[in-house]
Amino acid sequence: MGQEIYLTRAGYEKLRVDLEQLKTTERHRISKAIGEARLMGDISENAEYDAAKDAQAHCEARIAELEAKLANVRIIEDQKIAGDKVLIGALVSLKDIESGEQMKYLMVSPEEASYEEKKISIFSPIGKGLLGHKVGESIDIKVPAGILRYKILKIERPL
């Protein structure tokens, strides 16, 4: 068995839909491209054929990767995770000590991380720096741009 991957239900569904799309639509599209490239003649010097075969190999590798991930998924909502510390699945309200700006981040696995959606990976510098801390704590997190100083205002378990 591979390493467990913790995802939200929405994250799991997204990976499942991506896998289904690759196995059906994308496989069919690539198969058609390979067939059309074969009709162009000698496949030993056929760039279209080579490109289609490369796309096929990439698609099959991505399918295998998604199948392996999905086989090892643990749904965050189904886990009994402590709510008093910053852990995966926590919605953390922070205050930037320097600027006074407040922000909220959902702590997720790397597969679900999205800065635009305010979902940060527990393995990112900020994610690692927040893990295990509690409400009221002030922490310094070293990032490539310098030191971020945050105070944890609230920890929620929205999932």
Question: Which pLDDT value is given to residue 44?
Answer: 72
Q: For residue 159, what pLDDT is reported?
A: 56
pLDDT at 101: 95
pLDDT at 153: 96
Give the residue numbers spanning the domain of 135: 80-156
Q: What is the mean pLDDT of residues 76-94?
A: 84
Reply yes or no on whether the pLDDT at 81 is more than 80.
Answer: no
Split into its structural domains, the chain has a count of 2
Q: In this model, does residue 157 exceed pLDDT 70?
A: yes
Q: Of 54, 76, 98, which residue sits at a domain end?
A: 76
How many whole angstroms separate alpha carbon 111 and alpha carbon 138?
A: 28
In degrees, rounded to 5, the angle at the alpha carbon of residue 9 between the alpha carbons of residues 57 and 129 is 90
Residue 2 has pLDDT above 70, yes or no: no
Q: What are the pLDDT digits (tens) for 102-148?
A: 999 999 988 899 989 999 999 999 999 999 999 999 999 998 889 99
Residues 72 and 138 in one domain: no
Asked if residue 152 and residue 115 are part of one domain, the reply reads yes
The tokens describing 70, both together, are 């999905």
51 and 115 part of one domain: no
Q: What is the CA radius of gyration of the chain?
A: 22
Percent of the chain exceeding pLDDT 70 equals 98
Cβ contacts of residue 87 below 8 Å, gap of 6+?
A: 81, 107, 122, 131, 132
Question: 89: burial class by Cβ within 10 Å (0-12, 13-18, 19+)?
Answer: buried
Both 53 and 26 in one domain: the answer is yes
One domain for residues 50 and 87: no
Q: What does the pLDDT look like over 10-59, one tens digit per residue? A: 889 999 999 999 999 999 999 998 888 888 777 777 788 888 899 999 99
Q: Is the pLDDT of residue 77 over 60?
A: yes
